[in-house]
Every structure is written in C-alpha cells, then in structure tokens.
A and B are shown apart, each in its own frame.
Chain A
Amino acid sequence: MSILKLTHLNVHFPTQDGVVKAVNTVDLEMANGERLGLIGETGCGKTVLGMSIIRLLQLATKVEGKIVYKGKDLLKLSEEEMRKIRGKEIAMILQNPTTSLNPVLKVGDQIAEAIQLHQGLDKRAAKEKAIEMLESVKISSPEKRANEYPHQFSGGMKERAMIAMGLACNPSLIIADEPTKGLDVTIKMQIVKLMKEVTKRKSMLFITHDLGAAAEICDNIAVMYAGELVEYAKTEDIFKNPLHPYTRGFLNSLPSMGLKPIRGMSPSLIDLPTGCRFHPRCDHASAKCKTEHPEMVEIENGNYVRCFLYT
C-alpha cells in the first residue's frame, strides 16, 4: 500500500517577473516503509515539492493535482485538519539547523513544544519525552543539553536536535530537506548513519543533492530537473546504470568520478526550454528533443526515465 501518492502535481508561483514553474506534473508514489531519495541540483524544485506536501507555501502559490496521503487528499483538507497532520503524521526536517531553532528558547523546550502540540502531555512529561528524544539521536548527557540554548550546540548537534524534533511525535512519513547541508564530512557521515537508523520502520522522502548520502539511506531514487522528474530507479540501478543523460552528468560531476561539470546553466523556472527541458545542455540532443516533450517511460522492473533515447 502506498503511503504517499502524488498525481500530476504542479506548483506555480506567480511573481512580478512571470510565473515560476517550480514543480511540473510530478507523479510519484511511495510505498509504506520506503525511503525515497529526491535528488537534483539547487533550484530544481526539490524543496518546493517537499513543502507543498505539508502545504506550507505562501498563500498565492498555485498547487494543482493530487497529494494523497494514506488515502486522504491533503489538498482538500482544511487548515485545521492539516495542522493535525503536520508533525504528527508527516514531519519535515528543515535545512539550516542553525536558524531553524529559536535562539531564545531552550532546545529541550522546543522539542517538548512539538510534543505538546500533538500529544496531551503536560509540560513535565513532554520535557521528559524531549530528553528521551535527544538521547535517541545520540546526544550525550541529554538532561543537561535539553536545558541549553541553541548557540551552545555545535552544527552537528543542532541537526541532531532538529531530527529529534521531527521524530518527536512518531510520524509515519518524514520529509528530510537536505539534513546534511553545511556539515563537514565526518559529521555528515554520522548524521547519515543516524538518519538511516531512526527511519528504519518509517517512510522518508529524503531531499538532497548529496548523492553519497542518498545512496547510503534510500531504497529508490528520483532525479529531478527543472521542476520535473527525469528518472526514477532503484538505488543500486541508478549508480550502476544511470539512464538519463542528466543523471549521468550528475554522477560524473562527483569528485570521485572525475569532477566533470555538466555544461551550461540550469534553466530559469520562469522561462523553461521547449521540448525536453535538458536539451540545451545534453550531448545526445536531437532535433526532436528541441520541439517534443518526452514522457516518463518504464524501462524495466519499475525503473522509469524521461528521454527519447529509450523510446
């Protein structure tokens, strides 16, 4: 059974310069217990996709399509009903742990706050639960740390605290938005290990541009480019045999693969290229790619790609 199913999801922001088409006709399904990696470069719409699921974009944003979570279409729920889902059913772990904790509140109290919002616990019980959560994300001497302010935490510890906050109400689905951003390599590996451990029996949408982290944690990977999915495959397949030219370029740009950048710039989401979104930067582009827009096609056992090379 699928826990989350996105059908023809479009997210558009009207701005003064034109409509920013951040997410375009995304179809995505997550099975219960699946950990799905959503990878793509900066500005391709990954975060917007994540935010649109828990409906926290500005009011003017146009969201179309269906976001079905456990059989309920989230786009049809009232704000009141949505608030009960946020944190309790679906929790989002934000990027920038440094700014995502309120500097004037103790870390333990902030985690307790998330617990109090959903579970009928009194202040003391919530605080105890918060200390438990801090312990579960491997923060040493959690009783002492719970009474400290965010500035007394290191970057890695803040990220751990954010993860603790996300897990506090035992949500079924976690949307992690680049939890490894801005951390140094050793801490990053610890956080990745922790994420893998704490989401063992949960579903997670792991948004990142860190392929290493995605490979470590995720069962499947979806590659996003200019607001649409271009490839969806099992993790081992995508690393062994990347199909879409963009995925190949993405992998080749990794330091371990020779640090070869993809030529050109990622397109503006206001003025998207015609035809295949990737054709201006693609080495295999033909005349057809410039005019016709390719569809997602199934290649084998559940792997999909959006490219004319495979049709």
Chain B
Amino acid sequence: MIEDVIVFLKKYKSSRLGLVGLGILIFFVVTAIFAPYIAPYDPHQRYETTEHPNSAHLLGTNHVGQDIVSELIYGTRVSLFITLFASIAAAFIGAFIGLIAGYFKRFDFFLMRIVDLFLTIPRLPLIIIIAAFMRPSVWNLVFVFALFEWSITARIIRSEVLTLKNRHYVDATRMFGAGDFHILGKHILPNVVPLVVVQLVLVSRYIILAESGLSFIGLGDPTAKSWGMMLHDAFEYPTIFISDIWMWWMLPAGLCIVFTILSLTFIGYALEELVNPRLRSMTIL
C-alpha cells in the first residue's frame, strides 16, 4: 500500500502543472488548518472602520472594522471546509449510484433516469432556490452541493462498471464462487477509485465557485464568513468602487477563489493524465 503511494507520487512529480497546483492547494490548506495561529486578529474583533492598509492592519479593515487579513485567513477555512465535505459526499453518492446502476441491470434504467433529471435541470438557479428556503448554514450548503454534484460522477462510474463487469477476470472470480458484492468490492471498486478521485477534484472546483456565488448573493452562512461572503460585504458597501477600498477588500478574496480553482484544475489535469494514459501524449504543457 505504502509502496503504491510512493510510486504514485513519483509519477505525479513528472507533471509540472500538477506540482504547481498541489503547492497552491497545500498553501491554502495549511492556512485553513492553522488559521488561529496565523491570523493576526480575531476576525470578529472590531477596530476602526474602513481603515486603509497600514502596519497594524495589512489590508485595512472592513465596514464594521474587522481586520481583512484575518477575515481572509478564516474565510479559507470556511470555503475549503464546505468544498471538501460537499465534494467527498458528492463523489461517494456518485460512485455508489454508478456502481449499483452499472452492475445490477435491474436498477440501471431507474437510476439513470434520475441522473438524467439531475443533469438536465439547471443546477445553479435550483441551488439558489433551495438554499434560499433553507436556513443558511455551512452544513446546509454542504448538503445542497452534494445533492446536485453527484450525477456526472455516477454517469462516468456507471459506464466504467459496464465495461469492467464483462472482463474475463470477473467471470473467473465468479467461477470460483464469488458473489456479486464480493466482485463489486474486490474487483470493480479498485478499478474505479482513480476515476472517483479525479471526479472529486473536478467537482470540487465547481463547488467552490458555486459556494462563492451563493455567498455573494447573500445565501451563505453569516456566522462563518467565506471568501464569497467577503465579496458580498464589499460589494454592498456604497462607495466600494469610487474609492480605492476594493483593491484590498475585494481583490484579495477574489484572487483566493481564482487561485484555489486554478490549483484544483491543475491537480485535476495531472491526475486525469495519470489515470488515463491516453491523454499523456496530448498535453501541451
């Protein structure tokens, strides 16, 4: 197991994009984990309002006097937390539905029609509606994103399972008296895990963007400020674009979102290339 991980890391190292992405992501993750030690102030603590950057407040303070650097650091926590849990939940649901639909023919039709439904409805507007009806909280956001982001994963996993279950080694295992669940767990699941991981990374990109979007329009959790929420606050400030405040209030939060998505995209590409070697010859970078 450990050797496998080492081999994998060695292969991963060959992708420069992947390393850059991983570096950025590790930076954000470390920031999120050690937020209380890194942040210079408590993000709820109030000081002078709308201060310009100075030696005490590197990025100034916001409209209620909270230190923007501290807000950013704690916001990393919220944004990454939601993304992590929602994408893991979505990947799990997707993998499970995909395995069942692909392997058991009798469930296939029914499950795939549900997937069709989730794929065809416009997701963001519906997420907005549901989020608006539910009490805004971090867990509710996790739930809403998990609910809407599993369908593509399920489709991909199903199609892979459809080809895997007809492999000779599955027949061979059955010939030694294995049951369906044994085959699913031991022979099919290990073959789809890499795909699930890639999907998880790719879906998390979408979730972080959607979370920022929801928070931006005011549907995030007001007690746990994410980057999107900071954008929301800044945008509501009357003179945000008249003075220079946007440069240290809005821009950093926006850049954090952009860099997180960029890092996840790079990691996703690198992983996809490893999982699907046919892509290897096609990469430009």
Whether B175 sits at the interface, judged by CB under 8 Å, is yes
Query: A94-B168, A117-B182 in contact; A56/B190 too (CB < 8 A)?
Result: no
Contact between chains at B174 and A99 (CB < 8 Å): no
When distances are taken between beta carbons in the complex, the residues of chain A under 8 Å from B140 are: none
When distances are taken between beta carbons in the complex, the residues of chain B under 8 Å from A96 are: 168
Cα(A94)–Cα(B169), bound, Å: 9
Contact between chains at A118 and B186 (CB < 8 Å): no
- Which of A87, A99, A102 meets B176, CB within 8 Å? A87
When distances are taken between beta carbons in the complex, the residues of chain B under 8 Å from A165 are: 172, 176
Q: Mark B189-206, 1 if CB is under 8 A from A, else 0.
A: 011000000000000000
Contact between chains at B175 and A118 (CB < 8 Å): no
- Which of B169, B182, B190 meets A99, CB within 8 Å? B169
Q: Mark B100-127, 1 if CB is under 8 A from A, else 0.
A: 0000000000000000000000000000
Contact between chains at B177 and A104 (CB < 8 Å): no
- Shortest C-beta distance, A90 to chain B (Å), equals 9
Cα(A114)–Cα(B187), bound, Å: 13
Whether A49 sits at the interface, judged by CB under 8 Å, is no
Cα(A65)–Cα(B107), bound, Å: 32
Cα(A162)–Cα(B168), bound, Å: 12
- Which of B167, B168, B176, B191 meets A117, CB within 8 Å? B176
Cα(A285)–Cα(B201), bound, Å: 69
Residue of A nearest to B194 (CB): A104
- Which of B167, B176, B190 meets A114, CB within 8 Å? B176
Interface residues on A, range: 20 to 34
Contact between chains at A117 and B187 (CB < 8 Å): no
Query: A104-B190, A105-B190, A117-B182 in contact; A86/B174 too (CB < 8 A)?
Result: yes
- Shortest C-beta distance, A182 to chain B (Å), equals 13
Q: Mark B157-193, 1 if CB is under 8 A from A, else 0.
A: 0000000000111011111111100100011001100
- Which of B168, B175, B182 meets A54, CB within 8 Å? B175
When distances are taken between beta carbons in the complex, the residues of chain B under 8 Å from A114 are: 173, 176-177
When distances are taken between beta carbons in the complex, the residues of chain B under 8 Å from A117 are: 176-178, 182
Contact between chains at B175 and A104 (CB < 8 Å): no
Contact between chains at A84 and B171 (CB < 8 Å): no
When distances are taken between beta carbons in the complex, the residues of chain A under 8 Å from B177 are: 83-88, 114, 117-118
Whether A223 sits at the interface, judged by CB under 8 Å, is no
When distances are taken between beta carbons in the complex, the residues of chain A under 8 Å from B186 are: 105, 113
Whether A233 sits at the interface, judged by CB under 8 Å, is no
- Shortest C-beta distance, A166 to chain B (Å), equals 8
Whether A91 sits at the interface, judged by CB under 8 Å, is yes
Q: Mark A109-122, 1 if CB is under 8 A from B, else 0.
A: 01001100110000
Q: Mark A150-187, 1 if CB is under 8 A from B, else 0.
A: 00000000000010010011000000000000000000
When distances are taken between beta carbons in the complex, the residues of chain B under 8 Å from A39 are: none
When distances are taken between beta carbons in the complex, the residues of chain B under 8 Å from A87 are: 175-177
Whether A146 sits at the interface, judged by CB under 8 Å, is no
Contact between chains at A169 and B176 (CB < 8 Å): yes
When distances are taken between beta carbons in the complex, the residues of chain A under 8 Å from B173 are: 102, 113-114
- Shortest C-beta distance, B7 to chain A (Å), equals 11
Residue of B nearest to A113 (CB): B186
- Shortest C-beta distance, A36 to chain B (Å), equals 19
- Shortest C-beta distance, B66 to chain A (Å), equals 51
- Shortest C-beta distance, A263 to chain B (Å), equals 34
When distances are taken between beta carbons in the complex, the residues of chain B under 8 Å from A99 are: 167-169
Whether A241 sits at the interface, judged by CB under 8 Å, is no
Contact between chains at A92 and B169 (CB < 8 Å): no
Contact between chains at B178 and A56 (CB < 8 Å): no
- Shortest C-beta distance, B188 to chain A (Å), equals 10
- Which of B169, B178, B179 meets A100, CB within 8 Å? B169
Cα(A286)–Cα(B169), bound, Å: 47
Cα(A99)–Cα(B173), bound, Å: 12
Whether A307 sits at the interface, judged by CB under 8 Å, is no
When distances are taken between beta carbons in the complex, the residues of chain A under 8 Å from B190 are: 104-105
A58-89 residues with Cβ-Cβ distance < 8 A to B are 83-88
Contact between chains at A102 and B182 (CB < 8 Å): no
When distances are taken between beta carbons in the complex, the residues of chain B under 8 Å from A118 are: 176-177
Contact between chains at B175 and A56 (CB < 8 Å): yes
Cα(A220)–Cα(B166), bound, Å: 34
Cα(A92)–Cα(B177), bound, Å: 11
When distances are taken between beta carbons in the complex, the residues of chain B under 8 Å from A86 are: 174-177
Query: A105-B190, A117-B182 in contact; A56/B168 too (CB < 8 A)?
Result: no
When distances are taken between beta carbons in the complex, the residues of chain A under 8 Å from B178 are: 83, 113, 117
Cα(A105)–Cα(B189), bound, Å: 12
Whether A205 sits at the interface, judged by CB under 8 Å, is no
Query: A88-B177, A114-B176 in contact; A102/B171 too (CB < 8 A)?
Result: no
Whether A101 sits at the interface, judged by CB under 8 Å, is yes
Cα(A26)–Cα(B168), bound, Å: 27
Cα(A110)–Cα(B187), bound, Å: 10
Cα(A83)–Cα(B190), bound, Å: 23
Contact between chains at A56 and B174 (CB < 8 Å): yes
Closest 3 pairs between A and B when the two form their complex, measured CB to CB? A87-B176, A86-B177, A99-B168
| A-B contacts, 5 listed (Cβ < 8 Å) | A86-B175, A87-B175, A91-B176, A99-B167, A114-B173
With contacts A85-B177, A104-B191, A114-B176 known, what are 5 further pairs, Cβ within 8 A?
Answer: A87-B175, A94-B171, A100-B171, A105-B187, A165-B172
